[in-house]
Amino acid sequence: MSDRGHDDAGSSLTVGVGVGIAIEELERLARLAEGSAEGAAQIALRLPPLRTGSSPGRDADLWQAQSSLQRSADRLSDLARALRTAAALYDNADREAARAIEVVASHAAAGAGLVLARLGLLVAPALLTATAAVAAGAALLTPEARRLLADRATVLLSDPRVVEVLRAGLSLVDDALLGALGIPPAAVAALGEGGLGVVRLDGAAALVGIAAAVAGARGTAPVLIDRVGGDRRRGGESTAVAPPGSLADRIGRLPDAEAPIVIERYTLPDGAPHVEVYIAGTDAHAALGGEQPWDMASNIALVAEQEASSLQAVRAALAAEGVTPGTSIVFTGYSQGGAIATLLAESGDYATAGLVTIGAPTGGIPVTGAYPAIVIEHRDDLVPVLSGLRRETTAVIVRADALPDVVPPGEALPAHDRDRYRATAERADQLDAPSLTDALARLPVPEGAGVRTAYTARRITVD
């Protein structure tokens, strides 16, 4: 489903529900038809008292107008029903077509993996020689030439077309691996995500995670958390905070990786407790498997849907704040934090009342809970595609171009920048999209100010 709008900078925003793109436009038209039908019917009901009998010609015209309005109301009602039927059929057809294409692509990827595995021993010497030559050439480049190459790579990886190709390609990694192991392509296609769904990208990620663990990257190692400003006497600093008032407000509250967890405690109008949790993105400077749990080792574990160190830290912080399975909670996360937020929201361990993510690799994580979920992605952001094609979801998906004009030089993954996501959220707040408006309206509204507490986290070193 989709709505489309344009901000002052001309960047197109698209809002959709689930994996569909055109269905919400049909729903919007159906609502307009229903409203017009109701209006026509109401006018038709007001015409009979105007027929006074004093002017036969006028009475005949009014009678004709009433009949015409009633027919129009009936036809508009029929149109609304037809539009909704078309939306349902379109949605089913879209899903079935996507599944069929995926089966064919899975078969092809498995075949390619099989062929490449057989050719691997033959071409390995040549590949090693070529790799060595490239490495030697790179070492001879001047710093200015390296910066130029890096900028060119950034421009390429910020192209929405390239990003979508990578999304599809990453979804086929598991199929190619199975093909390389000698499993027949037809069997791989039947077992893959387009078939029975036994083999998925998270399985390939799990294998990578195991290999990383063997190499010393402890993506699922235990953690310790601590309240920011904590000491033995006070137990940590807490500050008063007003409830979030918009999407942009929520994004603005996301923390940095130094203190990656922020928890706000409120009271709902009925007196029940409510919690808002904000989860940071990956620390780009963190050592793989080191003390900082917001690293790439945790990212790999999260894509594999394992208990990553960073996810454990959020669980521990929620427990420290007294969150129970019955506490109303809204999860908001950026990048890695979005993956954590989605896994916790869908875990069944919490009374999830909402989910908001930006720039998160969550395509492979189903979102099916009966709570409002909003996903914001930039079409030119590489990070969300790392989990492959988006699977089963009922989330409202907001897509935009972060870099409509020129890719800024010297920035790595500029479309993934958190401030640019906040700017997109500000535009989304102004967009008239029924599904987004409904999702925002369903988020809990606390009564009065709350209390904000931040947490740090570190992996436990086991000798």
393/419 Cα distance (integer angstroms): 26
Instruction: Judge whether 442 lies within some domain.
Output: yes
> Which structural domain, as residue segments, surrounds residue 31?
25-97
Do 316 and 408 belong to one domain?
yes
The answer to whether residue 75 is domain-embedded is yes
Asked if residue 54 is part of any domain, the answer here is yes
- Partnered with residue 328 across adjacent β-strands are 274, 351
Count of the separate structural domains present in the chain: 3
Residues 333 and 354 in one domain: yes
Specify whether the CB–CB gap between 17 and 394 falls below 8 A: yes
Q: What is the pLDDT of residues 64-115, one digit of tens each?
A: 666 766 777 777 677 777 766 766 655 555 555 445 544 444 445 444 444 4
Pick the closest to residue 293 from 220, 205, 214 (CA basis): 220
Q: Indicate the residue among 209, 242, 267 that finishes a domain.
A: 209
Q: Kindly state whether residues 77 and 172 are assigned to the same domain.
A: no
CA distance 236 to 232: 9
pLDDT band at 387 (very low <50, low <70, confident <90, very high): confident
pLDDT score at 434: 86
Contacts of 171 (CB under 8 A, 6+ apart): 102, 193, 201, 388, 389
Q: What percent of the chain has pLDDT over 90?
A: 35
Average pLDDT over the chain, rounded to whole?
75
Domain match, 135 and 259 both = no
Asked if 252 and 380 sit in the same domain, the reply is yes
Task: Tell me which of 48, 69, 97 is where a domain ends.
Answer: 97
Instruction: Give dist(CA 422, CA 427) in Å, integer.
Output: 9
Asked if residue 245 and residue 146 are part of one domain, the reply reads no
Q: How far is CA 90 from CA 86, 257, 449, in A?
A: 6, 42, 45
Angstrom CA distances, 130 to 3, 41, 140, 141, 373, stand at 49, 76, 16, 17, 47
Q: Are residues 81 and 169 in the same domain?
A: no
pTM above 0.85, yes or no: no
Give the pLDDT of residue 302: 84
240 and 276 both lie in a single domain: yes
**Same domain assignment for residues 315 and 419:** yes
Q: Which of 47, 74, 97 is the last residue of a domain?
A: 97
**217 in a domain, yes or no?**
no
- The C-alpha torsion from 283 through 287 and 291 to 293, rounded to 10°, is 40
Residue with tokens 């033995």, as numbered in its chain: 232
- What confidence tens digit (pLDDT) does each residue in 113-159 have? 444 544 454 444 554 555 555 555 555 556 666 556 555 555 555 56
Evaluate whether residue 3 is within a structural domain. no
The answer to whether residues 353 and 390 belong to one domain is yes
For residues 111 and 52, membership in a common domain is answered with: no
| pLDDT, position 172 | 52
